[in-house]
């Protein structure tokens, strides 16, 4: 799994003119799933997301997690995070998991984040044409790949 994590003051996802998820302060997480991903990857990444200290403390240092600031999480499926750009100018997506594998892992990530935070995780709609609005805070953007955890 690969995640692009953005610290935001606010973020929302709209599909066909309807808001499917929105948060105030928190994390916008773009999540890519590949065929090699397992439940172990999912659990490791979920823990990383809720505990990553990228919010400012009283001295302005990044010492607080989304849990510490009672922030929200907006989770968006993003198969293009596994784009291959080695040949030509058109990206290939052969590493991205097909929907029959990716959808259950995406839905499981939603549940895992809710279990860890005790709050609803906001979301987009898998495979939909989503419009994402965000007010990036910092900006702070971090990329995490479960295959690079060691």
Q: Which residue has the tokens 């890519």?
A: 32
| Residue 23 near residue 73 (C-beta atoms within 8 A) | yes
Catalytic residue among 6, 20, 78, 146: 78
Tokens representing 124? Answer: 């987009």
| Residue 53 near residue 62 (C-beta atoms within 8 A) | yes
Nearest to 41 by CA among 103, 95, 112: 112
Q: How far apart are CA 75 and CA 58, in angstroms?
A: 27
Give the chain's length.
150
**Residue 79 annotated to the active site:** yes
Tokens representing 92? Answer: 């290939």
**Residue 146 annotated to the active site:** no
Catalytic residue among 6, 55, 79, 121: 79
Q: Which residues are marked as active site? A: 78-80
């Amino acid at each position: 799994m690969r995640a692009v994590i953005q610290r935001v003051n606010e973020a929302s996802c709209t599909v066909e003119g309807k808001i499917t998820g929105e948060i105030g302060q928190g994390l916008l997480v773009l999540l890519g799933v590949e065929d090699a991903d397992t439940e172990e990857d999912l659990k490791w990444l979920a823990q990383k997301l809720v505990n990553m200290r990228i919010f400012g403390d009283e001295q302005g240092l990044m010492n607080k997690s989304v849990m510490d600031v009672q922030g929200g999480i907006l989770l968006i499926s993003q198969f293009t995070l596994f784009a291959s750009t080695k040949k030509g100018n058109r990206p290939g997506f052969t590493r991205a998991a097909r929907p029959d594998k990716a959808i259950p892992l995406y839905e499981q990530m939603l549940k895992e984040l809710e279990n860890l935070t005790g709050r609803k995780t906001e979301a987009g709609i898998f495979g939909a044409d989503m419009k994402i609005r965000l007010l990036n805070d910092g900006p702070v953007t971090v990329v995490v790949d479960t295959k690079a955890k060691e």
